[in-house]
Chains A and B, each alone.
Chain A
Amino acid sequence: GAGVSQSPSNKVTEKGKDVELRCDPISGHTALYWYRQSLGQGLEFLIYFQGNSAPDKSGLPSDRFSAERTGGSVSTLTIQRTQQEDSAVYLCASSPPWGGDEQYFGPGTRLTVT
């Protein structure tokens, strides 16, 4: 079946603008994660959703970042008033509900803030 999909694949925005990044997890996967990979850095955990439960937002770097997940499926990561340091690849991953620790990653969205 189809894997995790993300859109857009690339996004260039001006400093101060808001952006929305979308993630479609694998059908049936209840867990959804957002990570960020800045240049020269490892992947950094941002936020985790499990079904319809309240998300774990412990990795969000500032209150300019928020995310929601509608209907336990599609997720949107929103960055308000973007800064140049927000430039990174944003990765989404999902996991099935039947246990196991494997996370299935999407292709990522490359965000460039000019």
Chain B
Amino acid sequence: AQRVTQPEKLLSVFKGAPVELKCNYSYSGSPELFWYVQYSRQRLQLLLRHISRESIKGFTADLNKGETSFHLKKPFAQEEDSAMYYCALSGRLSGGGNKLTFGTGTQLKVEL
């Protein structure tokens, strides 16, 4: 069974401080991992995916298969980064779709 764990419900950092949102997964196979973000009063949206190896809004995430982790990092937090962040693991469905298994989310609060 696939499972995603986000150990922190709330992470509070000061503006300009580094941020690391933790995500660990359990999956038998080659995982596809994502970070989704939900800003206040907005809908859930994709932030980044591990296969792209890209930096979005200054955030990066590296897949570590040895530690089964996909932590989200940003060197300098900004006030606009305050949001709910969800780590998600993709599993194939019959018919070719992708079932996303989400963690319980981490609320990031960036304080001035």
Contact = CB atoms under 8 A, between A and B. Distances in A.
A-B complex is real: yes
Interface of A: 3-4, 31, 33, 35, 40-45, 48, 50, 53-54, 56, 58-59, 91, 95, 101-108
Given A56-B93, A56-B95, A45 B100 contact: yes
Contact of B97 (A48, A102, A106): A48
Nearest to B99: A45
A50 B86 contact: no
15 contacts: A33-B100, A35-B100, A40-B104, A42-B86, A42-B102, A45-B99, A45-B100, A56-B93, A58-B93, A95-B98, A103-B46, A103-B100, A105-B44, A105-B45, A108-B43
Contacts of A102: 46, 49
Given A102-B46, A105-B43, A107-B43, A50 B95 contact: yes
Interface string B91-112: 0011111111111110000000
Given A42-B86, A101-B34, A33 B97 contact: yes
Q: Specify the main secondary structure of chain B where it touches its partner.
A: strand
A113 to B, nearest CB: 22
B69 interface: no
Closest 8 A/B residue pairs (Cβ): A42-B102, A43-B102, A105-B44, A50-B95, A42-B104, A48-B97, A56-B93, A45-B99
A106 B42 CA distance: 10
Nearest to B49: A101
B43 to A, nearest CB: 5
B4 interface: yes
Given A42-B6, A104-B45, 18 more contacts: A33-B99, A33-B100, A35-B100, A40-B104, A43-B102, A44-B102, A45-B100, A45-B101, A48-B93, A50-B96, A54-B95, A56-B95, A95-B97, A101-B34, A101-B98, A103-B98, A105-B44, A107-B43
